[in-house]
Amino acid sequence: MTEYVKDKGSFMLITFNDAILPIYGYDVTLKFFKEFGQRTQKFFNDGDVYRFSTYQLFVYIPQNDIRSVTKIIKDYIKYLDQNQSVVIHYEKFLPKISIIRYPVVTEEKLPANLYRYLEVSLDYLKRQLNDESYIFFEYQIYENEVFEQQVINYLNQAMDQNQLSLMFHQIIDIKRQIVWQYESSIALENLNIDSKYLLSIAKKRNRLFELEKYHIKMVFEFLSILERETERLIKITIPVSKETFLDVNFNPFVFGLAQKFMIPFEFIRFKVKGENLKGNQHINQISFLRVQTSGPCHKVLQDHFIQELSIDQ
């Protein structure tokens, strides 16, 4: 690296279809990766190929022009796609590539920092919902990723030390001019971050379910304290994502909280955010919840679950 940064070129971090690991096991996956590395080395005969980690390659090429590098990458992806694997005939290599055009986008000379830029860009690319196979490093990507990681670290600490706060927004019945109920949200008091942005970061970092479970628990705890101190309860709507609602652990978690805090279900309503829940799986889930929430201790609330697009109904 000390020699590479003296000249113009491009650095690449390349991973492959590592989703095959739980399917074929370590030994076969390692052979598949070795084949992937050999074919990559054969293609980049005008550059240098290294094994960066267990399932990642580092490549240096002596070009940094955007058009030249883009063409090389596209040719490489096409080359891998057109050549069938010998190790696993019916699997594709499906490379994911992050690229630094040096010193066009950064003049950083420390290898550790350059590797970090590549790793962050690759992680960002793998989290995207599109089918893009490569990404060119931009410093803004690194800044955003570092910031989001700091938020997640602070969020984990806040959940562990009970530092999150509840906020309530009034839902008003306009005809009767009364506050019908309240919609809850969560906030990090020491960070000026909108709750929607906080949820989006949690989703990207695979912490959404834990965060929304924490939110639901906070509402049940709040109602328990409210009833104990005032002998009254208020109706609260809790927004949850579609992913959380459909998680197999969602039902047991909610029922467990209701039993623990002895809160009647007519005071709790969930607003499911996302696509319309019209499939059989969704209807069955809602029906099951209605059956479970009916009984000697709890009334059946027919609109127990509503969708965000039909809240005015």
- The tens digit of pLDDT for each residue in 95-136 reads 999 999 999 999 999 999 999 999 999 998 988 878 899 999
Closest Cα partner for 268 from 298, 231, 297, 311?
A: 298
Highest mean pLDDT among 88-102, 156-170, 296-310: 88-102
Low-confidence winner among 65-74, 129-138, 266-275 (lowest mean pLDDT): 266-275
| Residue 257 banded pLDDT, cuts 50, 70, 90 | very high
| Residue 304 banded pLDDT, cuts 50, 70, 90 | very low
Q: What is the mean pLDDT of residues 246-273?
A: 89
Which pLDDT score is estimated for 308?
38
Q: What is the mean pLDDT of residues 168-180?
A: 84
Q: What is the mean pLDDT of residues 204-221?
A: 92
| Residue 85 banded pLDDT, cuts 50, 70, 90 | very high
Q: What is the dihedral of CA 138, 139, 142, 148, to 10 degrees?
A: -110
Which pLDDT score is estimated for 262?
92
Q: What is the mean pLDDT of residues 288-309?
A: 41
Q: Is the pLDDT of residue 214 over 50?
A: yes
Which pLDDT score is estimated for 119?
95
Q: Is the pLDDT of residue 144 over 80?
A: yes
Peptide bond into 252 cis (omega under 30): no
Q: What is the mean pLDDT of residues 75-83?
A: 94
Q: Is the pLDDT of residue 299 over 50?
A: no
| Residue 290 banded pLDDT, cuts 50, 70, 90 | low
Closest Cα partner for 118 from 92, 145, 79?
A: 145
Which residues, in sequence order, are bridge partners of residue 249?
A: none
- pLDDT higher at 159 or 18: 159
